[in-house]
Structure 1
Amino acid sequence: MLEGRTRFNGPTFTLVNRLRRAAWQLFSLLFFRFSPVPCHRYRLLLLILWGAKVSLRSGAHVYPDARIWAPWNLALEEYASIGPRVNCYNIAKITVGPRAIVSQGAYLCTGTHDYDDPDFPLYARPIALQARSWVCTEAFVGPGVTVHEGAVLGARAVATKDIDAWQVHAGNPASYRKTRNRIPGN
């Protein structure tokens, strides 16, 4: 059994959860997805209305074509950025820390299955992207991964394990490439 995960027994999601997600998807299609790109504060307000944890004064950016599976499982800190075409499959919480960046086309996936169990149960493990971390274009962050402060996950890399602070990882699976220079003032 994997530690720190939530097991879903019976139907994977309750009827209330499925109805809530369907309502969010319809609302998102009508009011979020087709909003003008510069309207980040507007989209933040919509996410807050649906339960996301974010301050309107935070300076965070979420692009209109980002796909948020469950806004109530999303936390955005100061100047966090979720870029174009990012997919947040957040059946568990995703936290994007201060000045952390998720670049275009990245996939943040909090769900997995236990393939050794004949029932193939779904598990959820949170993802944390700490301050000044960067998930580059089309990278994949798997369930339970923490991208620590200042770390970089390279373009199209696959992170299934934590990435240490101020390190650059790339490849599939992601592996250490070099140490990143710390940003002045940190």
Structure 2
Amino acid sequence: MHNTNTITGASFSLKNRIGRGVWGIAYQIFFRLSPKPFHAWRAMILRLFRAKVGAGVHVYPKVKIWAPWNLELGNQCGIANEVILYSQGKIRIGDSAVISQGAHLCAGTHDYTKSSFPLVTKPIKIGDHAWIAAEAFIHPGVTIGEGCVIGARSVVTKDMPSWMVCTGHPCIPLKNREFNSILSPSSI
């Protein structure tokens, strides 16, 4: 961060703000207006803005991304329309993970205990094979374990364990994620 007092100035450097301005223009012209099936095109644009993007990634055109250089997208992950990746801090989405429509991953907050209200960024990590269902909110600094399912509209304020179904406000683990006989965690 550039400034720890958000009352007197911007939290990010001029270079960062210019980069986000250039990204905003590229996003509106080349990313958002691209046809839905053009996943490789959008992956290429993200790579041009220093995102780490794996093979076979499906990022839809109406995903909102604050700073692509803070993103790491694993192989075969999918990010639906209307997802918000508020990547003030790092966001890592694992292999074959799915982020459903309207989910919000927020890697920045403010320290309300200080009068200067400084920005605080904390990384978000979404494990391989995890599913963040529609309109869930993931707080800064949260890790979602491998294979974990976060229910629709859940608010996740702390780490969630691997291979569990978790839901609620606040989100809590409910039960093991079980597979039918055709697919099991060991076969993934």
Q: TM-score, normalised by structure 2?
A: 0.91
Aligned CA RMSD, in angstroms, stands at 1.4
Contact 1:8 1:123 in 2 (8 A): no
Amino acid at match of 1:41: A
Matches within 5 A, 1:123-162: 123-162=120-159
Contact 1:7 1:122 in 2 (8 A): no
Matches within 5 A, 1:56-67: 58-67=55-64
- Following the alignment from structure 1 to structure 2, what is the Cα–Cα distance between the partners of residues 99 and 14? 34
Q: Which runs of 4+ in 1 moved over 3 A?
A: none
- Following the alignment from structure 2 to structure 1, what is the Cα–Cα distance between the partners of residues 2 and 84? 22
2:108 is the alignment partner of 1:111: yes
- Following the alignment from structure 1 to structure 2, what is the Cα–Cα distance between the partners of residues 8 and 143? 19
More divergent stretch after superposition (11-20 vs 98-107): 11-20
Matches within 5 A, 1:45-124: 45-55=44-54, 58-124=55-121
Residues 131-160 of structure 1: CA distance to partner in whole angstroms, max 9, x if unpaired? 000100000001000101000110000001
Residues 7-48 of structure 1: CA distance to partner in whole angstroms, max 9, x if unpaired? 952430111111110110011100000100000000000000
Residues 83-141 of structure 1: CA distance to partner in whole angstroms, max 9, x if unpaired? 11000000111111010000000000000111111111110000010100010000000
Amino acid at match of 1:13: F
- Following the alignment from structure 2 to structure 1, what is the Cα–Cα distance between the partners of residues 99 and 48? 22
Percent identical: 44
CA 1:28–1:151: 2 relative to 1, 3 Å: same
Paired residues in the alignment total: 179
2:27 is the alignment partner of 1:28: yes
2:185 is the alignment partner of 1:175: no
- Following the alignment from structure 1 to structure 2, what is the Cα–Cα distance between the partners of residues 114 and 142? 14
Match of 1:3 in 2: none
- Following the alignment from structure 1 to structure 2, what is the Cα–Cα distance between the partners of residues 129 and 16? 28
Match of 2:160 in 1: 163
